[in-house]
Structure 1
Amino acid sequence: MDKNRSMSGKVRPVTMKGFSLLAGGSGYRVHVIFQGLAVGLTAGFASILYRILLGQAERFSFFALSGEEPIPIPLLVPLWCLAAWVIGRIMEWEPLARGSGIPQVEGELLGQISMNWWRVLTAKFLGGALSIALGLSLGREGPSIQIGSASGKGIARLGKKDTLEERLMISSGASAGLSAAFNAPLAGVVFALEEVHKSFSPLILLSAMTASLAADAVSKYVFGLGPIFSFGAPEPLPLGLYGYLLLLGVLCGVGGALFCRLILSVQDLYGKIAVAPRYRIVLPALAAVIVGPALPLVLGGGLPMVEHLAHHGGSLGFILSLFLVNLLFTAFSFGSGAPGGIFLPMLAQGAALGALYGTAVAQLCGVDPSTVTNFLVVGMAGFFTAVVRAPITGILLITEMTGSFSHLLAVSLVALTAHMTADLLKARPIYDALLVRLLRRSADSRGQRDLLLEASICPGSPLDGRAIREAALPKGCLLVHVLRGDEKILPRGDTVLAVGDRLIALADGSRARRVREVLLELAGVPCQRGRGYVPPGEGEDDLRDAGGDRRGE
């Protein structure tokens, strides 16, 4: 096969420089570091501007809806409806700015969609600020990830980078966006590996780590060195109380599964309403006018709610009302298609559930009331893990947000219990489900670029000890390199694979998503993405290639 041609016969948009990058030569590693630094500084600056803008918008919503002198209702209602209509028109202008933005980033990296980077940035800034100003229960973290990714893509396009470098810069921008939003550089790196790519890649790790640290440096320069939560980390929970954590983990798993299904059900409900999408955001805007004066803590991203529960607590009835109202209002706000995320709102719901459980344990079981904050902290990690199904990200995120590793054991126990419970309930990870819906809507216009994919063979993989010609590789997949330590092996039919080998494969752009799923599963990395949806032309029968023409010579 001509090395300058793709499997479909079109010119391949991956250069030899891309192969060299994946092979990890020292010169290219230095190149990746400087590239990650540029993306991190740019994406971090953009995410910080967005964070400042949304902070001002959130303060305005509290003042307008629940302040000492709120805007009069006769003026408030038409003003809110007009602003919601403007948001709807902005989303019509750039549909890929809807929602959190994380599924859009994952779809972009799979070659299934293509963001117009400057339109996404414009729509996300304007629409996101207006949505928070209206008091909608939406977070800044998902949009910050998309803003970081769009910034990375913008740098790649302006620098005329090839496909692989563009994907690296998009991934690095995602890490930088999360890092700047939460002052959490480690969580930003792990999020790119665990959630966005669902596999470990030394190249992505190097690029994402550089970008994440650069963005964190900019964030700390602007906002200070302290963690996001002002209450810090309470004293570690005594080991004798760890039995209570198991039940909390189960509750977080059930609550997270309920949250996922509620988000998707409300989206379906909006789809059945005979109202043009541009007017749907009017509904949660009016709901904010009703809910805001009565329960202002549910407005905005949820950070004030977490801080209030940590500092002041509340009765069981009050905390339960916060949890339920915030749960429903978040689903109602997000389902409308408004530009905002569910990252911080889900942490707020986990905090409320943890505080509710801790208060109940303190009142009914005689546990020291000062431990309620401990249950609040671990509840956030458990709820996040149940919803996103990314336990390592959840554990690191809460650790960095509280500024202490003293709760690592408790947080890990609750997160893993919640993960197992959500799995048993067959709740689909929220971003996987949202990605499937996004790809359904964009199936006719999805990208056709050939993409380089990477997977490392794990212990227990069916590929371990098997020759390439015997491996049931997915159709549309061509192995181009096998990296074993520092050795670069040109794959042939009799090449025997082993644990630790890094497989570099070229995937047909129209099948990239499913090829990645099957390749990761063969490598021993279970992948839940995309179950239940097969794009046109990708039937289950053609996922695997019975012939040997794509398995090496």
Structure 2
Amino acid sequence: MKIQQLDKTRGHYILLGTILGICAGIVVSLFRLGIEKLSEVVGKAYYFFPSHPQWLVLWLFISILCAILVGLLVKSDPDIKGSGIPQVEGQLRDELSTNWFSVLWKKFTGGIISVGMGLFLGREGPSIQLGASVGQGLAEITKANSSDTKILLSSGASAGLAAAFNAPIAALLFVVEEVHHNFSPLVWLTSFTSAIVANFVSLTIFGLKPVLHMGQIQSLPLNYYGLLVLLGILLGLLGRFYQIVLLKLADWYRHLPLPAHFYGLLPFLLVIPIGYFWPETLGGGNQLVVAFGQSVPPLETLIFLFVLRFSFSMISYGASLPGGIFLPILSLGAIIGGIFGMMLVTFFGMDFIYVKNFVIIAMAGYFAAIGKAPLTAIILVTEMVGSLQHLMPLGVVALVAYLVVDLLGGSPIYDSLLERLVAKQDVSLQSKKVVLEFPVFADSPLDGMAVRDITWPEHCLLTSLSRGEQELLIHGDTIVKMGDTLHILTDATHAGIVFKRIQQISK
């Protein structure tokens, strides 16, 4: 039997993915380690203060200094604001341009301070942007072309999420479902390689235990599946509410008598009384979810936790600090699931043993509703919890929640954040040529059309298309088919406009 040699192109991208996975895995693991170490110090301080309240004056001074330092970092490079995921998506669509080294060290420093000081922010968004920055740096070092640069950006983002959550499959799905919205063989191969390698680096440092391990969990009986539809509807409604509030934050923060880069002073000061009275609630919320594996709090406590974490996570993220919403969304979903489960126990006599099931299932449903990425949500929660028992109920709730948000007119939250971000950018008069890759889906009117019959926008040229693993040169009579990927040449100045207009044509 003849053994086929590995295609040189695939081998090249596997090598790049491996190098990128090692580098991004180290960077993100150090970032994660820095947050954990600072969080330990901050947690000990807040448990110390009730018996030594005089030290709060010094802590207030330290918190203000931290807010000023992060504010100066944000002022020097606004691209480190927020989670970083919209910025990465903007780079891949040629709508944004960033300095990778500046973002790398400033996001690293600002993220450790913001998340480590106990604000209700997540490490996953910054980890994705850090991984993408490593990918961009590797692209510059290797003098990669525009297409390869985007592959390395995507693969770096995948590696960052894998290292942050020890969830390599979800990291790959996130890139395909949330970032690209299409399937590219080279993006898939390189991203999967980098995610696996980065995950191995992270596991070497943090161990094999899943990030949200909740112990032994019983399978949910089939007679409870009707309740999953109800839970999915609830999560869809609350998810749409989350989207609306999050997108209003910038308008509300403008009323503060502070420069925009110093908005962080508000959450850095407000976290002090929260830490003083409820130190166990600080941070992204993963410790709360893990604690639910041991004991789910009473209904009144869960409702209080939801109000507290929802409100302060909005305050934390609205200040444009370097931190994400991924983990706070999951923790809010867990609390909603806990409330739903405890209500069933209290008022309908459900066995308490199944409350943890609803905690896990609601995490996926809430993220699927807000991010509109149900596959990523299902696999992410499965990998983080470390159990395959919940795939069916996770799928039911994620699908229902997704449909509810869709019916309510909700868009993927990171796409909405990117639109707002791009709207604030000055038009850059670059002349650099770029190649856009545009997928043709099953419901696209482009399917079955001849190239000459398509009304192409100005400032672009269709150069070729990919069909399966073949790249085809095109002419006017070429028929576009479902599954094709169009390669469109334009320049950096018009890339964003061209992409949006082709999106409109394809709908």
Q: Deviations over 1:428-454 (max 9, x none)?
A: 322112111211221334765432222
The one-letter code of the counterpart of 1:371 is Y
Q: CA, structure 1 residues 447+169, in 2 after alignment: closer, same or farther (shift >3 Å)?
A: farther
- Determine which of 75, 94, 103 is the counterpart of 1:120: 103
Gaps of 5+ in 1: 1-24, 527-553
Q: Which residue of 2 aligns with 1:44?
A: 25
1:81 aligns with 2:64: yes
1:186 aligns with 2:142: no
For the residues of structure 2 that align with 1:41 and 1:166, how far apart are their CA atoms? 18
- Determine which of 376, 397, 410 is the counterpart of 1:414: 397
- Determine which of 328, 350, 356 is the counterpart of 2:333: 350
Structure 1 window deviating more from structure 2 (360-369 vs 438-447): it is 438-447
Q: Deviations over 1:261-291 (max 9, x none)?
A: 2222222111232311233111101110111
For the residues of structure 2 that align with 1:200 and 1:327, how far apart are their CA atoms? 34
1:341 aligns with 2:334: no
Q: Which residue of 2 aligns with 1:385?
A: 368
For the residues of structure 1 that align with 2:470 and 2:30, how far apart are their CA atoms? 44
Deviation at 1:202, TM superposition (A): 1.0
Please say if residues 61 and 132 of structure 1, whose CA atoms lie closer than 8 Å, have aligned partners that are also in contact.
no
Deviation at 1:520, TM superposition (A): 5.0
For the residues of structure 1 that align with 2:247 and 2:240, how far apart are their CA atoms? 11
Q: CA, structure 1 residues 496+352, in 2 after alignment: closer, same or farther (shift >3 Å)?
A: same
Deviation at 1:340, TM superposition (A): 0.6
Q: CA, structure 1 residues 49+70, in 2 after alignment: closer, same or farther (shift >3 Å)?
A: farther
- Determine which of 461, 466, 480 is the counterpart of 2:463: 480
Deviation at 1:233, TM superposition (A): 5.7
For the residues of structure 1 that align with 2:239 and 2:433, how far apart are their CA atoms? 36
Deviation at 1:518, TM superposition (A): 4.4
Please say if residues 215 and 293 of structure 2, whose CA atoms lie closer than 8 Å, have aligned partners that are also in contact.
no
Deviation at 1:241, TM superposition (A): 0.2
Q: Deviations over 1:484-503 (max 9, x none)?
A: 34544321111122233332
1:316 aligns with 2:296: no
1:34 aligns with 2:15: yes
SS of equivalent residue, structure 1 residue 312: coil
The one-letter code of the counterpart of 2:379 is L
Q: CA, structure 1 residues 423+446, in 2 after alignment: closer, same or farther (shift >3 Å)?
A: farther
Q: Which residue of 2 aligns with 1:95?
A: 78
Please say if residues 93 and 436 of structure 2, whose CA atoms lie closer than 8 Å, have aligned partners that are also in contact.
no
The one-letter code of the counterpart of 2:24 is A
Please say if residues 148 and 177 of structure 1, whose CA atoms lie closer than 8 Å, have aligned partners that are also in contact.
yes
For the residues of structure 2 that align with 1:478 and 1:62, how far apart are their CA atoms? 57
Please say if residues 446 and 510 of structure 1, whose CA atoms lie closer than 8 Å, have aligned partners that are also in contact.
yes
The one-letter code of the counterpart of 1:377 is I
- Determine which of 341, 353, 356 is the counterpart of 1:370: 353
For the residues of structure 1 that align with 2:460 and 2:219, how far apart are their CA atoms? 49
Q: Which residue of 2 aligns with 1:301?
A: 284
- Determine which of 133, 143, 164 is the counterpart of 2:147: 164
1:254 aligns with 2:229: no
Question: Residues 238-249 of structure 1 correspond to what in structure 2 (within 5 A)?
Answer: 238-249=221-232
1:326 aligns with 2:280: no
- Determine which of 198, 201, 211 is the counterpart of 2:184: 201
For the residues of structure 1 that align with 2:26 and 2:105, how far apart are their CA atoms? 15
Q: Which residue of 2 aligns with 1:436?
A: 419
Deviation at 1:375, TM superposition (A): 0.3
For the residues of structure 2 that align with 1:247 and 1:374, how far apart are their CA atoms? 15
SS of equivalent residue, structure 1 residue 493: coil
Please say if residues 112 and 448 of structure 1, whose CA atoms lie closer than 8 Å, have aligned partners that are also in contact.
no
For the residues of structure 1 that align with 2:402 and 2:125, how far apart are their CA atoms? 21
The one-letter code of the counterpart of 1:478 is L
1:459 aligns with 2:442: yes
For the residues of structure 1 that align with 2:56 and 2:390, how far apart are their CA atoms? 46
Please say if residues 136 and 299 of structure 1, whose CA atoms lie closer than 8 Å, have aligned partners that are also in contact.
yes
Q: CA, structure 1 residues 462+239, in 2 after alignment: closer, same or farther (shift >3 Å)?
A: same
Q: Which residue of 2 aligns with 1:63?
A: 44
Question: Residues 6-17 of structure 1 correspond to what in structure 2 (within 5 A)?
Answer: none
The one-letter code of the counterpart of 1:310 is G
Deviation at 1:308, TM superposition (A): 2.0
Q: Deviations over 1:524-552 (max 9, x none)?
A: xx7xxxxxxxxxxxxxxxxxxxxxxxxxx
For the residues of structure 2 that align with 1:282 and 1:226, how far apart are their CA atoms? 36
For the residues of structure 2 that align with 1:457 and 1:113, how far apart are their CA atoms? 24
Q: Which residue of 2 aligns with 1:53?
A: 34
Q: CA, structure 1 residues 117+332, in 2 after alignment: closer, same or farther (shift >3 Å)?
A: same
Q: Which residue of 1 aligns with 2:201?
A: 218
SS of equivalent residue, structure 1 residue 272: coil
SS of equivalent residue, structure 2 residue 486: strand
Gaps of 5+ in 2: 1-5
Please say if residues 233 and 403 of structure 1, whose CA atoms lie closer than 8 Å, have aligned partners that are also in contact.
no
Q: Which residue of 1 aligns with 2:3?
A: none
Q: CA, structure 1 residues 408+78, in 2 after alignment: closer, same or farther (shift >3 Å)?
A: same
Deviation at 1:327, TM superposition (A): 0.5
Deviation at 1:506, TM superposition (A): 1.8
The one-letter code of the counterpart of 1:45 is I
Deviation at 1:67, TM superposition (A): 4.2
Please say if residues 36 and 116 of structure 2, whose CA atoms lie closer than 8 Å, have aligned partners that are also in contact.
no
- Determine which of 107, 118, 137 is the counterpart of 2:90: 107
Deviation at 1:364, TM superposition (A): 1.1
1:145 aligns with 2:137: no
Q: Which residue of 2 aligns with 1:539?
A: none
Please say if residues 296 and 338 of structure 2, whose CA atoms lie closer than 8 Å, have aligned partners that are also in contact.
yes
Q: Deviations over 1:28-61 (max 9, x none)?
A: 2211111111111111111100000011121122
Q: CA, structure 1 residues 462+286, in 2 after alignment: closer, same or farther (shift >3 Å)?
A: same
Please say if residues 448 and 510 of structure 1, whose CA atoms lie closer than 8 Å, have aligned partners that are also in contact.
yes
Please say if residues 18 and 193 of structure 2, whose CA atoms lie closer than 8 Å, have aligned partners that are also in contact.
yes
For the residues of structure 1 that align with 2:125 and 2:250, how far apart are their CA atoms? 18
Q: CA, structure 1 residues 427+283, in 2 after alignment: closer, same or farther (shift >3 Å)?
A: same
The one-letter code of the counterpart of 2:45 is A
For the residues of structure 1 that align with 2:431 and 2:46, how far apart are their CA atoms? 47
The one-letter code of the counterpart of 2:46 is L
SS of equivalent residue, structure 1 residue 89: helix
Please say if residues 103 and 432 of structure 1, whose CA atoms lie closer than 8 Å, have aligned partners that are also in contact.
yes
Q: CA, structure 1 residues 285+424, in 2 after alignment: closer, same or farther (shift >3 Å)?
A: same
Q: CA, structure 1 residues 449+257, in 2 after alignment: closer, same or farther (shift >3 Å)?
A: farther
Q: Deviations over 1:319-372 (max 9, x none)?
A: 011011101100101111111111101100000001110110111111111111
Structure 1 window deviating more from structure 2 (410-419 vs 56-65): it is 56-65
Please say if residues 369 and 401 of structure 2, whose CA atoms lie closer than 8 Å, have aligned partners that are also in contact.
yes
CA RMSD of aligned residues (A): 1.9
For the residues of structure 2 that align with 1:73 and 1:243, how far apart are their CA atoms? 50
Q: CA, structure 1 residues 483+163, in 2 after alignment: closer, same or farther (shift >3 Å)?
A: closer
Q: Which residue of 2 aligns with 1:360?
A: 343
For the residues of structure 2 that align with 1:232 and 1:521, how far apart are their CA atoms? 48
SS of equivalent residue, structure 1 residue 496: coil
Deviation at 1:145, TM superposition (A): 0.2
Deviation at 1:292, TM superposition (A): 1.5
Structure 1 window deviating more from structure 2 (62-71 vs 193-202): it is 62-71
For the residues of structure 1 that align with 2:184 and 2:92, how far apart are their CA atoms? 14
TM-score for both structures, normalised by structure 2: 0.94
